Structure 1
Amino acid sequence: MTAPRRTRLSREARAAQLLDTAEVLFAERGLERTSMEDIARAAGVTRPMVYSHFASKEEVFLACVRRARTELEDRIREPEIMIQAGAGAAAVIERAGELFFELLERDPRRWRVLFLRGGALSEELAADVAALRLGTIRRIADMVGHFASFDEERATAFAHAISGVGEQLGRWWFAHPEIPRARVVAHYRDFITSGLGLP
């Protein structure tokens, strides 16, 4: 009896598999305690195969963050459409919270990687991660501008605060998974509407 043939993955599918594997390792061990050899071993491929897709462990990590940010920003489109349709601030904020915390609940490892503390990152990698986060902040600032008569500086400051509320509530929820998602979303909505001075 012959052994079953290994399925040969396309380059795109292999890269996605490597990111899936790396996310698990980064979430469980952190960036510093994960090596390219670890990623290769866990993915069941050779180290040269990993290097054929990513030049370094830092590049793998940045690709993981970029993928998570892209997924989050795809979801941001729905609250933006709600604003264009004339929805009120509380409804938009609540829906944004539902979308964000649904993502966290569905794939907590991915979001643990996104929330990895900056101290574990090199200066260059931290700057790259911050630049990706800034793209999300700008979109949040644009939404804030629809609901409050803030100048650009104040809208940006509130956008950073809103992002921080989501991230810190996410960390808290990871530590207390018994709390229902709906209650976490309610906290998110209440913090933000009160901070913006909305009813």
Structure 2
Amino acid sequence: MTVEWAQVDTARRRTVSYMTERPPRRRLSREARQAQLVAVAERLFAERGFEGTSIEDIAREAGVSRTIVYAHYATKDDIFVACVRQARAELEDRVREPEILIEAGADARTVITRAGEVFFGILERDPHRWMVLFNPSTALSPELNARLTELREQTITRIAGMVRNLGSFDDERSLAFAYAISGVGEQLGRWWLTRPDIPRSTVVAYYRDFITPGLDLR
């Protein structure tokens, strides 16, 4: 065997040895893969917007093929809804905190302060998740808009229930106030994103001071 072929043979054996010794790539469970894809998609949707993100982008960032993405989410709409569902699930879970205060007899100022801490705390900790929830694109299809509206109204209904219990308002006023409170939070959150030097406590105080007077009406 010549020196040249000896070198080739040695390199080949090293390659075979490496391939044999390298541990196989662990296959993720369905739940783990979906969690990975949603995490990647959430970041891309927040950074690039809905229209600026494609299934190809999500697959590339996740290090998988498009086939893998499509095996879990049939369309980009579906994975966007999954991102929104996850974000709203966290918000819905945290909404329980001001509800508990109401049940304990706390006044409107205390409840709204806690609600603001919850709402703006999510924005501060995870702006990508917040932006997926509250920075919708104008490029969404009517079908996707309808799905997102249904999710949003579930949260609005929770807020309306708190308003009703705080002020003994009728259903119509409670629902109207719930939409107003939600809108104030969203717009104040967008304002805060452009002024990150302002502490969260200040933003919460602005939120509380604007909303509380309306809930104190009798």
Q: Tell me which interval the TM-score lies in, with the shorter structure as reference length.
A: over 0.9
8 Å contact from structure 1 (residues 118, 126) kept in 2: no
Asked which structure has the greater CA Rg, the reply is: 2
Q: For residue 47 of structure 1, what is the aligned residue in structure 2?
A: 66
1:172 aligned counterpart, secondary structure? helix
8 Å contact from structure 1 (residues 68, 110) kept in 2: yes
Aligned residues: 198
* TM-score, normalisation: structure 2: 0.87
How far apart are residue 123 of structure 1 and its match?
0.7
How far apart are residue 86 of structure 1 and its match?
1.2
For residues 31-54 of structure 1, give each alpha carbon's deviation from its aligned partner in whole angstroms, at most 9, with x where no partner exists.
111111110000001101001110
Q: For residue 104 of structure 2, what is the aligned residue in structure 1?
A: 85
1:94 aligns with 2:113: yes
1:127 aligns with 2:149: no
For residues 136-165 of structure 1, give each alpha carbon's deviation from its aligned partner in whole angstroms, at most 9, with x where no partner exists.
001100100112232111110000000111
Following the alignment from structure 2 to structure 1, what is the Cα–Cα distance between the partners of residues 183 and 64? 38
1:29 aligns with 2:45: no
The CA RMSD over aligned residues, in Å, is 1.3
5 Å-filtered alignment, 1:30-179, equals 30-179=49-198
1:181 aligns with 2:200: yes
For residues 162-195 of structure 1, give each alpha carbon's deviation from its aligned partner in whole angstroms, at most 9, with x where no partner exists.
0111111111111111110000000111111023
How far apart are residue 7 of structure 1 and its match?
2.8
Letter in 2 for 1:51: Y
8 Å contact from structure 2 (residues 34, 72) kept in 1: yes
8 Å contact from structure 2 (residues 44, 58) kept in 1: yes
8 Å contact from structure 1 (residues 58, 125) kept in 2: yes
2:115 aligned counterpart, secondary structure? helix
What is the percentage of aligned positions where both structures have the same residue? Answer: 65
Following the alignment from structure 2 to structure 1, what is the Cα–Cα distance between the partners of residues 111 and 24? 50
Letter in 1 for 2:165: H
* TM-score, normalisation: structure 1: 0.95
Q: For residue 193 of structure 1, what is the aligned residue in structure 2?
A: 212
